[in-house]
């Protein structure tokens, strides 16, 4: 890859770049201030504005600067981080059942929202194929899928290795599973559509208005921004992997981690069909996993994984490992050119669960641990219902303690070490 031929911005931005115009004037007083203009913030703003509340969305950068216009556009349920068995061990059978069912409700919610709001974002139920990295993963993956079906009626089917060429043009995997109801969308267009609907409902969207802090004054919050202060009855924090020390309580609870994607040059439809015959979204069973899909126009491979740390972010060298991983799965792509490289932040939490709730009367919804397209849309809606005092805002996630860790400040150093350890374990075996 030569730097001169590559754009270091998301391929999605070619169709829908984050809005970077002049921000409207700062309102002096508002019912609800939402901090962060990703899917969480916009989904919250839409629900609040439709319920008649005055809402301002305060965004530090251009609208949609964060993960919401940078992600892979793979839309699944909220159940991708834990197996049902792990959830039962951690939370007991009843709670696990409630969490898993709410996870599946997240996928339904985003699909219904996109349809109801007529958001043109290439949303398609293409299904997800997850490949097994080791032969032993096949049985455990099948058991996990059976449990999901038993707990939440999730449809799936297994694909043994000797039949997987109907799913994927690679022999890197030892079979896999398909979730036929999972979906794909264009993240930039989805973000743009949500922003238009929120604005249309009356929300004021304020780019380039970073929040520096807030203080309670009487019964209201005074939110300090670089453009002055704004008074609000309620505040929602929706900053996920971009949370800074301006929001210290939340910052001590989320672990920002980078995720990166490359887009190839246009490939022939025949070549794409050979590699991804069903045009699904794809992942694998590794601890440090890669994810990929065809672009919505069916012409490119979009390949994602961990960020490179040994080279400056705006250099091809920082993305070379993704190209290497892609060619290891699809040797046929060794001759192709990469045209776009980009990265963004996801937010992990100490219990690997997303969190919704309030602290000191300030609401938050975040910590999606990398699978946030449906989770953030759903949590944004739910946190808005909580602000409205609507009992429908209750979720199975409400009572999870949002823990920090005495050594939280060490996480930026620990993340690369843990990642390397996971990669070694992935390479060693199941």
Ligand X SMILES: Cc1cc2nc3c(=O)[nH]c(=O)nc-3n(C[C@H](O)[C@H](O)[C@H](O)COP(=O)(O)OP(=O)(O)OC[C@H]3O[C@@H](n4cnc5c(N)ncnc54)[C@H](O)[C@@H]3O)c2cc1C
Residues binding ligand X (CB under 6 A): 35-41, 58-61, 65-68, 70-74, 210-211, 238-244, 246, 259-261, 291, 304, 343-346, 366, 368, 370-373, 376
Decide whether 79 or 239 has the Cβ nearer to ligand X. Answer: 239
Decide whether 82 or 174 has the Cβ nearer to ligand X. Answer: 82
Least spacing, CB of residue 90 vs ligand X, in Å: 22
**Structure letter (DSSP) for residue 328:** H
Least spacing, CB of residue 190 vs ligand X, in Å: 10
178: left (phi over 0), alpha (psi -120 to 50) or beta: beta
Decide whether 74 or 395 has the Cβ nearer to ligand X. Answer: 74
Decide whether 164 or 243 has the Cβ nearer to ligand X. Answer: 243
The CA–CA distances, whole Å, from 25 to 7, 54, 111, 343, 402 equal: 33, 15, 34, 31, 35
Asked if 363 and 235 touch (Cβ cutoff 8 Å), the reply is: yes
Least spacing, CB of residue 180 vs ligand X, in Å: 17
Least spacing, CB of residue 241 vs ligand X, in Å: 5
Q: Kindly report the CA angle at 78 between 147 and 74, in degrees rounded to 5?
A: 110
Give the residue at shortest CB distance from ligand X. 372
Alpha-helical segments (H) within 277-372: 320-329
Taking the alpha carbons of 185, 395, 287, 238 in that order, is the dihedral positive or negative? positive
Q: Give long-range contacts, CB 8 A cutoff, 24+ apart: 414-421.
A: 415/255, 415/257, 416/309, 419/288, 419/306
Question: In 3-state terms, what secondary structure has residue 331?
Answer: helix
Decide whether 103 or 344 has the Cβ nearer to ligand X. Answer: 344
The strand ranges marked E within 354-422 are 355-359, 362-366
Decide whether 289 or 315 has the Cβ nearer to ligand X. Answer: 289
The CA–CA distances, whole Å, from 233 to 29, 222, 310 equal: 9, 9, 45
Decide whether 132 or 365 has the Cβ nearer to ligand X. Answer: 365
Decide whether 125 or 150 has the Cβ nearer to ligand X. Answer: 125
Least spacing, CB of residue 250 vs ligand X, in Å: 10
Least spacing, CB of residue 364 vs ligand X, in Å: 10
Distance of CA 415 to the CA centre of its chain: 18
Least spacing, CB of residue 259 vs ligand X, in Å: 4
Decide whether 40 or 83 has the Cβ nearer to ligand X. Answer: 40
Selection from 365, 384, 385 nearest residue 375 by Cα: 365
Least spacing, CB of residue 208 vs ligand X, in Å: 9
Beta-ladder partners of 80: none
Least spacing, CB of residue 242 vs ligand X, in Å: 4
Cβ-proximal residues to 29 (8 Å cutoff; 6+ apart), any chain: 230, 231, 232
């Amino acid at each position: 890859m030569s730097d001169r031929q590559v754009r270091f911005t998301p391929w999605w931005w070619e169709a829908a770049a984050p809005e970077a115009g002049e921000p409207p004037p700062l309102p002096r007083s508002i019912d609800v201030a939402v901090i962060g203009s990703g899917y969480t913030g916009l989904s919250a703003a839409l629900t609040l504005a439709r319920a008649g509340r005055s809402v301002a969305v305060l965004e530090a950068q251009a609208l949609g600067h964060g993960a919401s216009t940078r992600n892979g556009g793979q839309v699944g349920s909220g159940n991708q981080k834990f197996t049902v068995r792990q959830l039962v061990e951690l939370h007991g059978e009843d709670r696990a059942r409630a969490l898993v069912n709410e996870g599946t409700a997240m996928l339904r919610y985003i699909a219904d929202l996109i349809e109801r709001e007529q958001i043109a974002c290439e949303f398609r139920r293409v299904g997800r194929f997850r490949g097994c990295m080791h032969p032993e993963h096949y049985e455990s993956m099948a058991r996990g899928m059976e449990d999901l079906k038993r707990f939440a009626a999730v449809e799936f089917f297994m694909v043994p290795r000797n039949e997987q060429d109907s799913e994927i043009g690679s022999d890197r995997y030892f079979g896999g599973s398909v979730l036929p109801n999972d979906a794909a969308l264009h993240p930039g267009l989805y973000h743009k559509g949500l922003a238009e609907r929120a604005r249309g409902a009356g929300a004021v969207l304020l780019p380039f208005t970073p929040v520096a802090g807030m203080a309670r004054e009487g019964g209201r919050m005074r939110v300090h921004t670089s453009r002055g202060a704004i008074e609000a009855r309620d505040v929602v924090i929706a900053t996920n992997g971009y949370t800074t020390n301006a929001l210290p309580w939340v910052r001590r609870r989320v672990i920002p981690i980078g995720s990166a994607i490359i887009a190839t040059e246009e490939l022939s439809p025949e070549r794409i069909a050979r590699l991804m015959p069903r045009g699904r979204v794809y992942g694998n069973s590794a601890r440090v996993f890669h994810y990929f899909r065809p672009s919505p126009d069916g012409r490119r491979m979009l390949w994602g994984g961990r960020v490179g740390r040994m080279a400056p972010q705006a250099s091809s060298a920082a993305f070379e490992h993704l190209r290497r991983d892609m060619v290891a799965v699809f040797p046929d792509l060794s001759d192709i050119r990469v045209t776009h490289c980009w990265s963004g932040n996801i937010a992990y939490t100490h219990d690997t669960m997303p969190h919704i709730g309030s602290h000191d009367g300030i609401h938050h919804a975040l910590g999606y641990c990398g699978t946030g397209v449906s989770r953030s849309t759903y949590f944004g809606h739910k946190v808005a219902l909580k602000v409205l005092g609507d009992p429908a805002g209750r979720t199975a996630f409400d009572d999870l303690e949002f823990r920090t860790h005495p050594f939280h400040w060490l996480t930026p150093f620990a993340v690369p070490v843990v990642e390397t350890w996971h990669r070694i374990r992935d390479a060693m075996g199941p």
